[in-house]
Amino acid sequence: MKRPISQGPRPDKTSYEEWMESEGIPIVHAVGGVEDVRTLERKPWARTGGKGVFIHLQGMREGGVSGMYVMEIPPGKALEPERHLYEEMLYVLKGQGATEVWQEGEGKRSFEWGEGSLFSPPLNAWHRLYNAGREPVLLLALTTAPLVIDLFHNTEFVFGAPFAFRDRYNSEEDYFRTGRKVERQKGMTVLESNFIADLRASFMGGEDKSTDRPTKVAGGHFIGFEMSENVVTGHLSEWPVGIYHKAHYHGPGAVLLGLKSQGYVLLWPKELGTTPYQNGHSDKVIKLRWGDGAVYSPGEGWFHQHFNTGKGPARHIAFRTGGAKYRVGFHRDVGTTENIKKGGTMIEYEDEDIQIRREFEVELAAVGVPCSMPAIGASHS
């Protein structure tokens, strides 16, 4: 039996933070992000039977909803079976394997996955993960554990409640399928799915072209996703060589993972203004290198923008809580695609700090990639 995580109040720690400490694996704290989660030190995780490391970023702490960890499964081994009352998204960073899922007293369903796969065990259903290869498997998990553990502050209940959410999973044979596309509000394309085989190769371009999103990035494409009836949702974004996103801000809790190409991210609190370099705050702008395996989470009201300095299209996935299908009370549309001059939170290219474009051009020249950004007028010449 798992004991409650707290025997009394600790005002300096949340229940989730106490639980992380009690699990006996490393906890990585960072303001902006981690440049490659695959390189983080992992230690034996007794409860799971594998190795692991927690990642606790500032934006996640402020949001109080998203939890994250990297888990390792040794070659030819399996993790311990588990179920829990928090949602969990799993992205395969390395390796291949299979997952079994079942409700108490019923038959098991299984599916195979490989590097680049994304899946989500149904809420509170039993599941077990297997490594089918000769190398360690690495998985990145995004969860709602902070919200659930802080709410109940009793892990015996979180990991031991017997209720089966039949509306989410009822032992369907075809449950772990690629899914289907649907239209949401404002013409947004969303993939309803319980399993995506490879996020790096699917759903962008050609006949499977996603929604055009030039309002956020020149030449960009976008597709949302909803998995396993979760409130944790998100989107894939892809944009061309020599291009960067417009800066914008929103509430805390969103987590972004690099999938293809390379570049960097700039982050700064909105209190520094829309032109932080011109305002004399260059030392307060965080510059984080990103590529395959990088994660970052903007803080509450932090401007952020994503730059592609690689020689191919860039792609990342963004996770957040609350979407078009299942809205939650702490999710609000704050105008991330609307001009900040008109009440939104996005800075148009012509209004951004002139140093941002100059720095990008220097970065591109260093790697021999041409700049493909649209002209922004004489004021930036």
CATH number, position 37 = 2.60.120.10
Residues 6+ apart with CB under 8 A from 7: none
Asked if the structure places residue 272 within a domain, the reply is: yes
| The pLDDT of residue 211 | 55
pLDDT over 70 at 178, yes or no: no
Euclidean distance between CA atoms 148 and 92, whole angstroms: 24
**pLDDT (mean) for 117-141:** 96
Query: Do 105 and 244 reside in the same domain of the chain?
Result: no
What pLDDT, on the 0 to 100 scale, is given for residue 193? 84
Does residue 186 share a domain with residue 140?
no
In a domain, 129, yes or no: yes
| Integer-rounded Cα radius of gyration of the chain | 21
The overall pTM is greater than 0.85? yes
Distance CA 73, CA 130 (A): 7
Q: Has residue 171 been placed in a domain?
A: no
Q: pLDDT band for 205, please (50, 70, 90 cuts).
A: very low
Query: What percent of the chain stands above pLDDT 70?
Result: 86
* 354 & 224 share domain: yes
pLDDT number for residue 26: 98
pLDDT of 154 over the 50 cut:
yes
Domain stop point among 160, 192, 225:
160
Structure tokens at 295: 């994660």
Rounded distance between C-alpha atoms, residue 17 and residue 64, angstroms = 11
pLDDT of residue 218: 81
Q: Is the pLDDT confidence value at 63 over 70?
A: yes
| Residues 145-168, mean pLDDT to the nearest whole number | 95
Assigned domain for 69 exists: yes
The rounded mean pLDDT for the chain is 88
Residue 230 sits in the same domain as residue 91: no
* Same-domain pairing of 97 and 239: no
Q: Which residue has the higher pLDDT, 85 or 205?
A: 85
| 26 & 156 share domain | yes
**Contact at 8 Å (CB) between 189 and 108?**
no
Establish if 167 belongs to a structural domain. no
83-92, 235-244, 262-271, 331-340: least confidently modelled range: 331-340
109 plus 215 within the same structural domain: no
pLDDT at 214 over 70: no
The range of the structural domain enclosing residue 255 comes to: 180-331+340-369
Q: Say yes or no to pLDDT of 242 above 70.
A: yes
Mean pLDDT, to the nearest integer, of 168-174? 90
Question: How many CB atoms lie under 10 A from the CB of residue 83?
Answer: 22
Quick one: which H or E segment has residue 320?
strand 314-321
Which burial class, exposed, middle or buried, applies to 376 when counting CB atoms under 10 A from its CB (0-12, 13-18, 19+)? middle
The neighbour count for residue 89, using CB atoms within 10 Å, is: 25
| Average pLDDT value for residue range 214-243 | 85
Question: Which is nearest to 256 in space by CA: 237, 270, 275?
Answer: 237
pLDDT value, residue 36:
96
For 205, phi then psi, to 5°, come to: 85, 165
Angle at 255 between CA 369 and CA 283, to 5 degrees: 60
Has residue 328 got a pLDDT over 80?
no
234 & 146 share domain: no
The pLDDT-based confidence of 320 (bands split at 50, 70, 90) is confident
Residue for token pair 């290219």: 349
* Cα(374)–Cα(381) distance, integer angstroms: 13
